[in-house]
A and B are shown apart, each in its own frame.
Chain A
């Protein structure tokens, strides 16, 4: 459903040299698959997500969605950034409706959906509040509701829980799984946390840095619905160990 076909991406640096963020990456994701991207800092995770979002163009190769090459942001993708990036002057409801407004699909139906989404992420009473009145975790929830308001088939999440404390993070992780089983969609989820990746994903794509390439794709055989209790599961340990050794080499598994 999403095809990444021999994609390379180089950025021109200020001094004229080139930074190769991704080199010859080929991946394919199925419809309604939950895929996590992990890898050391600077290995091109965000770049890969932005390529799928149509926010940057590949230097070589192509990205396709349903067979069509991506040449710009599409209406059927939603994106959650690492920071909530809410508009400070707009109410939470207006923030959630923002993509619908921009795409000229702010129908009464969309408004109803926005309320339902706020309900889903536990912010129903905060629809009329402004972002500064909400905690970081609540703002990130609003960001997730916003990414879903135009009913995208693909949800792109770039370390959405990165700035949150561990408790809020676990809570939102479970919430995301619940939303996903409620409204199935293809999710690409970037994270620095190996346990988080294993708990969430059907498959974990491990990237290696300089230049960014796919080290391996780890299939997670854990049953659904998932819970944090599964961290003790053999399959969980196997996947986490495999990812760790892909990232850190054998010194991680030897320890």
Chain B
């Protein structure tokens, strides 16, 4: 049973990790804020870009056939490989981190929103036509509300992936953030601190996911009740 033979400096006891967390609380908090900021900016960028993109994709088969190949391309590029290039292109600042976060997070949101917009029952579309709704009103009053439950399942996937994206970006280029903390602490063999950062990251992911779920529950109770 070699598993139990893992030395304490690789897999420190929870008590040791907890002590490390308490001792460095201020420092970890600072890194957490930095990561949260990147996650939030990347997530917001995902929303702002994905929703219009999904509307464009569902507006015509031609648009769908034009846009989808590009989207698939962005997903097939390994983000870890792209990150250093983006740093060179955009400079060693926050921007490449936000872009990486966005690239990791936005795809499921586009897919889910497009699926929602496309699955509106034909009768509701016909109702809109019979009421002489313009295409804009049809979108705002019928298609988008119908897609809300789909959008939220996309948002839940996107917010979780935003955390992943932000950490990947911080591994490559950062002077702050939980990803950066993991890289530096492992470099100095401070394994307990790395574990502490990892735990905070998981908690951050869970909290952000729950925030999205609560927003859905409060603003769109009929949507939350359906899924």
B-contacting residues of A (Cβ < 8 Å)? 53, 55, 72-75, 77, 79, 81, 83, 85, 87-90, 98-99, 101-103, 130, 132
Q: Which of A81, A87, A102 contacts B132 (CB 8 A)?
A: A102
Besides A55-B130, A73-B132, A130-B222, 5 other CB < 8 A contacts?
A: A79-B130, A81-B123, A85-B126, A89-B223, A98-B127
A55: chain B residues at CB < 8 Å are 126, 129-130
**SS class, residues of chain B in contact with chain A:** helix
A87 touches B145 (CB 8 A): yes
CB nearest to A98 among chain B residues? B131
CB distance from A221 to the nearest CB of B (A): 33
B141: chain A residues at CB < 8 Å are 98, 101-102
CB distance from A13 to the nearest CB of B (A): 17
A102 touches B131 (CB 8 A): yes
Q: Which of B126, B133, B146 contacts A102 (CB 8 A)?
A: B133
- Of the four ranges (under 10, 10 to 19, 20 to 34, 35 or more), the interface on chain B belongs to 20 to 34
A-contacting residues of B (Cβ < 8 Å)? 121, 123-124, 126-133, 137, 141-142, 145-146, 148, 220, 222-223
Q: Once bound together, how far apart are the Cα atoms of A132 and B131, in whole Å?
A: 22
A102-B137 CB under 8 A given contacts A55-B129, A73-B132: yes
**SS class, residues of chain A in contact with chain B:** loop
A89 touches B222 (CB 8 A): yes
CB distance from A63 to the nearest CB of B (A): 15
CB nearest to B122 among chain A residues? A85
Q: Once bound together, how far apart are the Cα atoms of A73 and B134, in whole Å?
A: 12
Q: Once bound together, how far apart are the Cα atoms of A53 and B130, in whole Å?
A: 7
A89 touches B145 (CB 8 A): yes
B223 touches A81 (CB 8 A): no
Most buried by A among B124, B127, B145, B146: B127
CB nearest to B123 among chain A residues? A85
CB nearest to A156 among chain B residues? B130
CB distance from A76 to the nearest CB of B (A): 11
Sample (12) of A-B pairs whose CB atoms are under 8 Å apart: A53-B130, A73-B130, A83-B123, A87-B142, A89-B145, A89-B148, A98-B127, A102-B128, A102-B131, A102-B132, A102-B133, A102-B141
A103 touches B131 (CB 8 A): yes
Q: Once bound together, how far apart are the Cα atoms of A101 and B133, in whole Å?
A: 9
Q: Once bound together, how far apart are the Cα atoms of A215 and B133, in whole Å?
A: 36
